[in-house]
């Protein structure tokens, strides 16, 4: 295998692992946050506005972790900094 193929395979595998592992934590966190918020709403319906507002802020913060993993995987696939290094090493280019 040449170096371009190795970089491509490593980038694709790393991007897949980034998404696979990086989404599990936020998914579990969001599920637990919603379950806890629903329990709190059932116990104190008068505080629904405060609980809902806090829930949405928390969900946005949790979701940002998954978005960062997505951004890293897109960088690895489409803007990989190693491509320029490997292309510079290829003779004749």
Q: Are the C-beta atoms of residues 22 and 65 closer than 8 Å to each other?
A: yes
Range of weakest confidence among 45-49, 65-69, 84-88: 84-88
CATH number at residue 28: 1.20.20.10
Angle at 34 between CA 33 and CA 40, to 5 degrees: 90
**pTM of the entire predicted model:** 0.73
Question: What confidence score (pLDDT) does residue 1 get?
Answer: 77
Q: Does the structure show a pLDDT above 90 at 81?
A: no
Which domain does 80 fall in, by range? 3-84
CA distance 64 to 1: 37
- Residue 87 predicted with pLDDT over 90: no
**E-strand spans in the chain?**
none
**Residue 92 maps to a domain:** no
pLDDT greater than 70 at residue 74: yes
- Quick check: helix, strand or coil at residue 44? coil
With a cut of 80, say whether residue 93 has pLDDT above it.
no
pLDDT the model gives residue 88 = 78
């Amino acid at each position: 295998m040449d170096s371009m193929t190795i970089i491509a395979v490593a980038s694709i595998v790393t991007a897949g692992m980034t998404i696979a592992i990086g989404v599990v934590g936020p998914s579990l966190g969001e599920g637990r946050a919603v379950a806890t918020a629903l329990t709190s709403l059932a116990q104190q319906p008068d505080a629904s506005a405060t609980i809902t507002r806090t829930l949405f802020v928390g969900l946005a913060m949790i979701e940002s972790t998954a978005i960062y993993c997505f951004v890293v995987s897109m960088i690895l696939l489409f803007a990989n900094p190693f491509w320029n290094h490997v292309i510079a090493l290829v003779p004749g280019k």
